[in-house]
Amino acid sequence: MTAATPGATPTIVLVGHGMVGQRFLEALAERGLTATHRVVVLCEEPRPAYDRVQLTSYFSGRSAEELSLTDPRFIEDHGIELYVGDPAEHVDRAARTVTARSGRVFDYDVLVLATGSYPFVPPVPGKDAEGCFVYRTIEDLLAIEEYARSRATTGAVVGGGLLGLEAAGALKGLGLATHIVEFAPRLMPVQVDEGGGAALLRTIEEMGLTVHTGTGTQEIVTGTDGAVTGMKLSDGSELATDLVVFSAGVRPRDQLARDCGLVVGERGGITVDAQCRTVGDERVFAIGECALASDGRVYGLVAPGYEQAETAAATIAADEASFTGADLSTKLKLLGVDVASFGDAHGTAADCLDVVYSDARSGLYKKLVIGRDGTLLGGILVGDAETYGTLRALTGTVPPIAPESLVLPAGAGGPVQFGPSALPDEAVICSCHNVTKGTIRGAVTDHACTSVPEVKKCTKAGTGCGSCVKVLGQLVDAELAANGVEVDKGLCGCFARTREELYEIALALRINTYQDLLDRYGREGARGGDGCEVCKPAVGSIIASLAPSIGASGYVLDGEQAALQDTNDHFLANLQKNGSYSVVPRIPGGEITPEKLIVIGEVARDFGLYTKITGGQRIDLFGARVEQLPLIWARLVDAGFESGHAYGKALRTVKSCVGQTWCRYGVQDSVRMAIDLELRYRGLRSPHKLKSAVSGCARECAEAQSKDFGVIATANGWNLYVGGNGGATPRHADLLAQDLSDAELVRLIDRFLMFYIRTADRLERTSTWLERIPGGLDHVREVVVEDSLGICEELESLMTAHVAHYRDEWAGTIEDPEKLARFVSFVNAPDTPDPVVAFVPERDQIKPDLPLLSIGMRPAEDLLEGSAR
């Protein structure tokens, strides 16, 4: 690169802040260039970079903030000047300046164009009528949503490709009768062949969408008010519709380059060399969908754009890098249907053979393209893309097993299990970030990574689309084993078996005591002993969750069970900083009568408790001494309250908005559903705490997608999300099923919760479990929705038993003198209060005066949790 003016800080101007633009900034930061250069970013949209790949998830409740890819701290920490809503309008290459719409003028030493693409709208009459939209940005989605809710009952999408099917899914999610119009003879003509298109068509039509293939749009018909009323198609038919979304492909946004004299391709795209520099001007780069790469292609996928971003950043840093082409493999879930293609999916290579498996009834289609020498060249998967990660990594090699075994279902010659060792080191495992198997192995061997999260952080593998995570986990385990690292999967030093295995043993053999389980299935040397602080609460939780089915007491402080519990469970309350306890009565759905509010206020006043409304729509009462707990519970139980289980690894809350009863946007009664769910799952003991929420519409005021299981209302029923959580490592929940009736929703939640309780590790939240369990969300969906393991009836019966035998623990305590005897500060002086528990006034309430001297005795998980609920 040409040197900057002596003494001046060189300036890099980035035009465009989409996914590729953000990756370019990250690549600059990784190379230290943000410390040595002034970096200016001009962004046309009113918001920073967001995940355009997941755009459709906005309609299922995911917010614009959750779609964001831009951490404000990253921008601030690296001193990046980001101007949103202020696009570049003129480039003067002679003066090396960029002028923004606001009139700001920026000098540059390096200019990077990442202007992306724009939607192609066919030049048909009426295309600009009211009710016609494109599908590209969050603002487009907001406009579609508003129009659909106020003026439309039927929608049509022009284009049956990748974006077209996503748009159709969005319209269906808005409750519109939806049509798809595709000029080609099949859906997704670029990605799938005739067989794959047929399987996709059958599945989509079964969802209630109407597909018109082999026909084009001739005219948009409008009414007297100028709004859309229909479409005329090229086959002579007419289609009545209130709303039209054009999603017929994209074109490179290269006008800025054209205007400043840069070379563009005959069909568009800013021409660049292998280093992503524009032809004739080494100071200007182009990356992403606006760039015509040196191989003559404009790449419309994010992975090639990321590679171009890294290439440009490396070149600016004077490192050797080049972009000469990219893997066009892709794995998608469109309208809930897995669709994947990789390599030479259409078999364009000379002298190749196809291996095809098709099941029209199940909507499955799998095709592998094999060279005469046995080399795997590519393939297409529709309806089941479980093997995508392995197959894509094997592309270009001769698989170690017969190709047909890779596509046939179990019982018909496949799938054959073979380990990650079959993949060559040069196999690309993560196409989003171009991470090879060798790099992943190196992360384990050379950088001492011992888990998938550590390898993700070290290599970026698995942090893009996520389709490689399963293979990534297999590789990490295989490399650890190859290095002689024996991973003991036993629960603890007392048990060689996992928590899941111990659960199955207890259920099958009806073992209902910890000591019996330890004596029969503990490790040598542990049998006959007392166990440890790891396995005792874990087994206690197993027994509590299975209690009605294995003949155990459902009360956690009965007999042996009392000795197994964590600190909080010992006193059915949350231990606080100064040795006092907090009391949280259950308030299902956050709904409470004035009379009950008065009772809580009176209890707090009479016992001098600090009161706070929690994030889960409950009221927390702090500062109770242990001997006061039964007295407080008695007052609350008399008023109709019960334990909120804020102390236990159990269901905490089911939060809700006010729903259609009060809110003008609500489409279902979210309060009723939240109350029903909380009363159904109250007291359910699990490996970790459970939180839930129900939102009455897609605006998601109850924040259901940050919960272990969350429910969002649609015009047709309920969408169920699973595996979310807030906290230190937030995770957005995944859509498990949609448009469910009340009965279907409850049945799937029953199955999901019992399957989680059955298979999760100790202290494992649903979010971590969902990412760890082999097959992830797809496997969970197969088990709890499709009953692939044939266990759903058993899961439902276990939940039915729990519901039938539930009894409030507070009420059970205050009715039993023996149980009440444990609620004293000192056993040998039961009437003496703990002198450590002291308070001072603050803001008309109290706060702890002294720290808890014995805090080191608390289990680590309690210290981490505190009183969070």
Binding residues for [4Fe-4S] cluster: 657, 663, 697, 701
Cα distances (Å, whole numbers) of residue 731 to 58, 396, 707, 728, 755? 16, 35, 9, 10, 20
Length of the chain: 869
Cα distances (Å, whole numbers) of residue 319 to 185, 309, 539, 678, 705? 47, 13, 56, 58, 42
Amino acid at 300: G
DSSP state of 430: E
Q: Which long-range CB contacts under 8 A does 367-375 form with residues at least 24 apart?
A: 367/193, 367/195, 367/196, 367/407, 368/403, 368/406, 368/407, 369/343, 369/344, 369/345, 370/403, 373/398, 374/398, 374/399, 374/403
State how beta strands 270-271 and 291-292 pair.
parallel
Is residue 334 within 8 A of residue 165, CB to CB? The reply is: yes
Is residue 233 within 8 A of residue 416, CB to CB? The reply is: no
Is residue 479 within 8 A of residue 444, CB to CB? The reply is: yes
Nearest-5° angle of CA 188, CA 774, CA 421? 90
Give phi and psi for 94, each to the nearest 5: -70, -45
Strand partners, 393: none
Nearest CA to 492 out of 544, 540, 541, 538 is that of 538
Nearest CA to 755 out of 784, 781, 776, 782 is that of 784
Cα distances (Å, whole numbers) of residue 598 to 494, 613, 636, 643? 49, 14, 11, 18
Nearest-5° angle of CA 776, CA 780, CA 786? 140
Amino acid at 417: Q
Give phi and psi for 157, each to the nearest 5: -110, 125
Annotated binding site for siroheme: 701
**Alpha-carbon torsion 81, 83, 88, 92, what sign?**
negative
Which structure tokens are listed for 160? 């049956």
Between CA 685 and CA 545 the distance in angstroms is 5
Contacts of residue 761, Cβ cutoff 8 Å, sequence gap at least 6: 498, 499, 500, 687, 769, 772
DSSP state of 137: S
Contacts of residue 769, Cβ cutoff 8 Å, sequence gap at least 6: 687, 723, 756, 759, 760, 761
Contacts of residue 5, Cβ cutoff 8 Å, sequence gap at least 6: none
Strand partners, 231: 220, 239
Between CA 464 and CA 441 the distance in angstroms is 19
Three-class SS state of 393: helix
Amino acid at 215: T
| Residue found by looking up tokens 């592309």 in the block | 395
List alpha helices for 192-300, DSSP H.
Answer: 194-206, 255-259
Is residue 569 within 8 A of residue 643, CB to CB? The reply is: no
Three-class SS state of 830: coil
State how beta strands 210-213 and 132-134 pair.
unpaired
Annotated binding site: 657, 663, 697, 701
Amino acid at 205: E
